[in-house]
Structure 1
């Protein structure tokens, strides 16, 4: 009982999804005396469901966040896990499977309404007693309720996207990741810290603005304006990858953090979204377009500078025809924007 209470206190003390994941799998692994426990993401991509591990704990080892071999991949098709697939299709609370090698797997989807984006997986050769399953389900209920509380504080009420308050934390984490990657490189003597961006994998920030949105509100009313924002949010979610993060900044402005990709891939992913919006038929309103500015995230510059450069590229797109995606560094190297220091303001030619 003391161990259970300790885990409950630990779980409810976090204000971060990552630490909550670590806490819940540590709790279920210890209380079930399991060999392994994981938090799985169930991602829907173009009508297909994929399974991706995001946190894991193995008996005798500390829990850790997990990144697959290919960060761009949504994971493995759920069809590779037929028992779990059946559980999800039937909206069941749990599923258990014993394979030919005697490995017993218990899956516990986290249902929010009729949708499950997260699933706990517990693996051990020993059968799970009814008392153990009862305790684990209690932990899952606490985990689900606390996930809901975190989501409520982190998400925009209209679109369901992450909100601006959450953006600061997410960008700070990406800057730390970028800093760690840079620190692993040895700089040649005399080389400046800020490097020219290459086609190596980097983190990216994109600012998205809906073109002529005031005209939509003035002509069709705010209800249709809100519907446009909701549909744009849906297109953002479906156009970007499972590991990318999408935020509503307020009004008609959105921000995307793209993780670990090259410049060419970033261009392709961003322009795919722009074209998806351009080709979408918005009810009553008709055609809507977006303008986008994006930039590579640098560990050597503060977040306000990174965001400011993406904004500069966005405003260039807005003032040069709209319905465009512009890369800050390409604008600078092409002589279309002045390169500015951190404490300067941008100016267009």
Structure 2
């Protein structure tokens, strides 16, 4: 590697960006992560309410990749991850039924704690807003050997110089759906035992999780995720949707008591609607793209694998 340029700049400290930076660091490639938020985590976000974390982004994760399973075992070994459930409820035209699926994992300290653990030895610059990625490549006028954009495609596209055509075209193919996440805190647990519920064909709700059960502390907290169509109508003022979301949750579960507090979080780009069959993008201009938009299905595991694979490819190219 030449010595007059920064190695790799990773923009975005979600699990894809952090996994990419990990691989580069292991290979001896200089790397730094720029994150516009004040903490790492991306869409594995959690927020504390009265000292207790609640997950605002991903609701859980599943494991099928052997390499990811090794990472999860390390998290479990230090108490950061726990097996949660393989059984959800499903609400739809056929009423309420129980559905089984893969084992879902949760994190007692919130899913963001897993990303924090991965990033603990990495050079992360938080509150660092990147404005421009230009040919060279260069980040905000600073030359580097490669740039990784680990974020939803529409956000990454805003940073790219139009001359970076290969990455621009890869991002243009992505389609994303929004969502609102609502944390509803109640005076007591007055709902039936259900862990989590998929809600089908509902005008407001897509998913509701018992966050007390998910966290393992039995706190009277529910987290609801709305449909993309409902979120589209409330992106400008998401807090105004709180009464409708609360009413929908209480009606679904037959709750007699109103919530003590409702917190709404807007995800303008919550979920990719179609995955790229490749696990990452890396072009001759030195621009890499990673995240859950790459791979078969938009999952935490998919994002981790995307970042890991891109990091290895870049390390092979640069080392």
TM-score by length of structure 2 reads 0.28
More strand by share: 2
More helix by share: 1
TM-score by length of structure 1 reads 0.26
Larger radius of gyration: 1
